[in-house]
Chains A and B, each alone.
Chain A
Amino acid sequence: MEPSVHLAPGAERNGFATMTAQLIRQNADDHPAKKATLARMIGRVALVVEDLGMSLTLVFEGGRLTVYDGIVGIPDLTVRAPSEWHMKMSLVELEPRFGLPNPRGEVAREVFEAGRRGEVKTYGALASLPLMLRLTKVMSVA
């Protein structure tokens, strides 16, 4: 099934939600490997932009992604960070073979360090590691 990205009713008023939907859609259109990854993703991810007081929920249903305004349902994975770090997370370098985050990448290391300092907080990453890695892959523009 060809993956598709949709905005839930009301989400068009959330700039972060429209940007995220556009980013994932265009990334999938550009990269067949990201499109294939998106088609396999199942789970619910909440992204919270702490300094802007904004949040969204990504609901992946095996090829269909719906982006909601605010936190909807119980997320498998939650990422809380200031806007600067959400933007940086889309620049995390991927290693070419499997498209996983490259731990040697400059931005990847910065994000990791921000996590250690508590500036980027992830909840559920261990229990939902495949979802976390796939999310990084479909959102990265690097």
Chain B
Amino acid sequence: MAHEFPSQEWTDAFKDAVNANEDYRTHGKPWTFGAVAMVCEKDPSLGLDDDMAMYFDVHEGECRGATLSKGRASVEHAPFVIVAPYARWKEVINGEVDPIKAMMEGKLKMTKGHLPTMLRFVESSRALVVSATKVPTSFKDE
């Protein structure tokens, strides 16, 4: 069954996909730098009247928790915050973009966080994206 993006169901399924990903367990093992939040910018044409924020408590190759909340401010305590419009997240979930390349192009914006750390963990970022592609997803614009 496909989970609508974004939703708590999708967020939970992503957490499960991350924890099932052997590559992420390996490459993410040294990650002790805190949670990563992914913010989908509001888009009233898609029924998103506010930014939707997904908070992933990733630690040592495991996702310990995942929550969805409304508003960018709800995840401002996360050490890393990545923001993009709906269409860009759709490309990420469909595996059409490399996360680091997307940041270079300005498609994904890291509005908070330590870039040198993120670059050191480029393979674990890619494993997170691969995990996202494993989640059966339905999109609001399809």
Hey, which bits of chain A sit against chain B, CB under 8 A? 13-16, 18-19, 22-23, 26-27, 30, 49, 52, 54, 83-84, 86-87, 90-91, 141-142
Per the bound structure, the CA–CA distance linking A30 and B119 in Å amounts to 15
Q: With an 8 A cutoff between CB atoms, is B48 at the interface?
A: no
Specify which chain A residues have a CB less than 8 angstroms from the CB of B119 in the assembled complex.
23, 87, 90-91, 141
Report how many residues on chain B are interfacial, defined by Cβ distance under 8 Å. Answer: 17
Q: List 29 A-B contacts (CB under 8 A).
A: A15-B103, A15-B106, A16-B105, A16-B106, A18-B106, A19-B104, A19-B115, A22-B110, A22-B115, A26-B116, A27-B116, A30-B116, A49-B104, A52-B104, A52-B105, A54-B104, A83-B98, A83-B101, A83-B104, A86-B104, A87-B104, A90-B116, A90-B119, A91-B119, A91-B120, A141-B116, A141-B117, A141-B119, A141-B120
Q: Is B82 an interface residue (CB 8 A)?
A: no
Chain B: minimal CB distance from A102 (Å)? 16
Q: Mark B62-77, 1 if CB is under 8 A from A, else 0.
A: 0000000000000000
Contact A26 B105 (CB under 8 A): no
- Given contacts A22-B115, A87-B100, whether A14 and B106 have CB atoms under 8 Å apart is yes
Most buried by A among B104, B105, B110, B120: B104
Minimum CB–CB distance from B131 to chain A (whole Å) comes to 20
> Bound state CA distance, A87 and B121, in angstroms?
11
With both beta carbons as reference points, the residue of chain A lying nearest to B122 in the complex is identified as A87
The answer to whether B107 has its CB under 8 Å from any CB of chain A is yes
Closest to A141 in B: B116
CA gap between A84 and B116 in the complex, in Å:
16
Which chain B positions have C-beta within 8 A of A22?
Answer: 110, 115
The residue in A13, A49, A83 that gathers the most chain B C-beta atoms within 10 A of its C-beta is: A83
Closest Cβ neighbor of B121 among chain A residues? A141
Q: Which of B113-139 contact A (CB under 8 A)?
A: 114-117, 119-120, 122
Closest residue of chain A to B120 (Cβ to Cβ) is A141
